[in-house]
Structure 1
Amino acid sequence: MRDVSSIDFSDVPGTRGAQIKWLISPKDGAPNFAMRLIRIEADGEIPKHSHPWEHEIFILKGSGRIRVNETVYEVSEGNAILVPPDVPHEYHADTEMLFLCLIPNSGVPPEYR
């Protein structure tokens, strides 16, 4: 168990107004998946990108759009979305968005292993 209020958000490079907080990672003994909390300020964005691992996203707060390949999803609190591996995706927040993002440990940077 961990009190996540003691973990600081850090800026996500190459984005506008996005920050990340690593809640659970291999450093914590997680053998398969990492859990991250991502915050995007109103009118912020994470530009289009792709990588060889999937994401599972759960929107905790706010609203915006998530593009997965060529499909744009209007998302808000309580929505869940799968981003498959190797598929271009991007995020745009209409209001401040807060969401959980789970990834396999193969996508975790070395500093969180």
Structure 2
Amino acid sequence: MFVSHYKDVEEKDVTIEGVENTTIRWLVSPKIGAKNFAMRYFVIRKGGKIPIHQHDWEHEIFIVKGEGYITNGRKTVKAIPGSFLYVPPNEPHGYENPDSETFEFLCIIPVKEESIPPEEKGQ
């Protein structure tokens, strides 16, 4: 078993092209022994965004704090604390926070070679 607190995990700026005012904390990853799923904690500050993109893996998302918008390019939905989302593999998706101080959410993804950065793969 592994137990920690999210504030004990390093908060890093997301540096992918087009991402603005967004940080990530890798809470659960292969680095601590996870073999099947990774859990990430995102914070999008006011005015921030993660532009529309897509991956070969699914996402499970739970909104923790603030309000923001999720889009697949055809439909945009407001998400509030307690909202949860499922993004199927290869579905375009993007996030935006125009109004809240912070828009914070958990995002769970499968552990795949291409979904986990080298520093989270462990040994």
1:10 aligns with: 12
Q: Which runs of 5+ in 1 are unaligned?
A: none
Q: TM-score, normalised on structure 1?
A: 0.94
Which contiguous aligned blocks of 4+ residues in structure 1 show a shift greater than 6 angstroms? none
Q: Does 1:45 align with 2:49?
A: yes
> Which residue of structure 2 lines up, in the alignment, with residue 88 of structure 1?
92
Q: Write the letter of the residue equivalent to 2:47.
A: D
User: Number of aligned pairs?
Assistant: 113
Q: RMSD of aligned C-alpha atoms?
A: 1.1
Instruction: Find the residue that maps to 1:111 and give its secondary structure.
Output: helix
Counterpart contact for 1:47–1:91, Cα < 8 Å? yes
State the match for 1:72 in structure 2.
Answer: 76
Determine what percentage of the aligned residue pairs are the same residue: 42
CA–CA separation in structure 2 for the residues paired with 1:4 and 1:91? 21
Q: What runs of 5+ residues in structure 2 fail to find an aligned partner?
A: none
Summarize the alignment of residues 16-55 of structure 1 with structure 2, pairs less than 5 Å apart. Answer: 16-55=20-59
Q: Distance in 2 between matches of 1:46 and 1:5?
A: 22
1:110 to 2:114 alignment: no
Describe the SS at the equivalent of 2:7: helix
Report the alpha carbon displacement of residue 108 of structure 1 after superposing the two structures with TM. 1.4
Q: Decide whether the 8 Å contact of 1:57 with 1:100 is kept in 2.
A: yes
